[in-house]
Amino acid sequence: MISVSKALKLVSATALLICWLPAQASLIGQDVDIALVSVETPGSAPVFIGSDTLANPITVTVEEGSAEAVGFLDGFVTADIEANALGFIFPGGVVVQGEAMSLNEALGLGPQEFIGMLFANLSWGVDDPGMLVGFDNLQTNIAGFSESNVLFDSSNIAFNIADLVIDAGSFVIVELLVEHNADVIPEPSVLALFALALFGLRVSRKKA
């Protein structure tokens, strides 16, 4: 049978370990702006593709559980957002008169610098919004799509599919790599765990 002293030491060690474990990036509970956009020339402002009601980004609050699905243009494209991953799918593809084609061809836009999905104003919390530093585990079934088609900065990520043929079910999804500010004040729950750890160590030492 384990002694009280050993039990307290075990609890203290566990609590301290939890306190020092790095926080996992999560978009749960945060607002994200999503849009299908086009940029004709480098440096120009993006043009939002869609009807008048979809001429601006859609803002969604990411919920816990299954991926947050947001349909654009009557289900033409759907954006999926999870705790630390995001992407999109074209359920019916880009098909005109039975032929799958690129968005450029379907929309008659001509050569474009960029056409694709934009996920903007990504944040992982109020006290520490985090900074997007990259992505990992790219998954796609779109021929010709590679890591070079993914553009990002500290709070935005976009997927360029301008000249790629989009068949039914075409999708892209990536995991997000995020850095957090180590100087951010710990949450009350973390402080409580730290206090419990210190208390346990103190009591175990007294008993020893």
180 neighbors 128 (Cβ within 8 angstroms): yes
Over the stretch 172-186, which tens digit does the pLDDT of each residue have?
999 999 987 754 444
What is this structure's pTM? 0.72
Residue 160 has pLDDT above 80, yes or no: yes
Handedness of CA 105, 108, 114, 115 (dihedral sign): negative
Decide which of 135 and 38 is more confident: 135
Phi/psi region, residue 5 (left: phi>0; alpha: psi -120 to 50; beta: rest), is alpha
Banded model confidence at residue 147, pLDDT cuts 50, 70, 90: very high
Q: Which of the pair, 166 or 107, is modelled with greater confidence?
A: 166
Cα–Cα distance measured from residue 57 to residue 103, given in angstroms and rounded to the nearest whole number: 18
Within the chain, where are the H helices?
A: 4-20, 103-107, 188-207
Torsion sign over Cα 25, 27, 29, 30: positive
Could you give phi then psi for residue 199, rounded to 5 degrees? -60, -45
What confidence tens digit (pLDDT) does each residue in 84-106 have?
Answer: 899 999 999 988 888 999 988 88
Is the four-CA dihedral 27, 29, 33, 34 of positive or negative sign?
positive
Residue 8's pLDDT is what?
Answer: 46
In sequence order, what E strands does the chain have?
A: 31-39, 47-48, 58-61, 68-72, 77-81, 85-90, 95-96, 99-100, 114-120, 131-140, 150-152, 157-160, 170-179
Q: Is 79 helix (H, G, I), strand (E, B) or coil?
A: strand
User: What angle is formed at CA 162 by the lines to CA 171 and CA 157, rounded to 5 degrees?
Assistant: 65
Bigger pLDDT: 140 or 44?
Answer: 140
More reliable by pLDDT, 128 or 197 = 128
pLDDT score of 53: 41
Which comes out higher in pLDDT, residue 46 or 138? 138
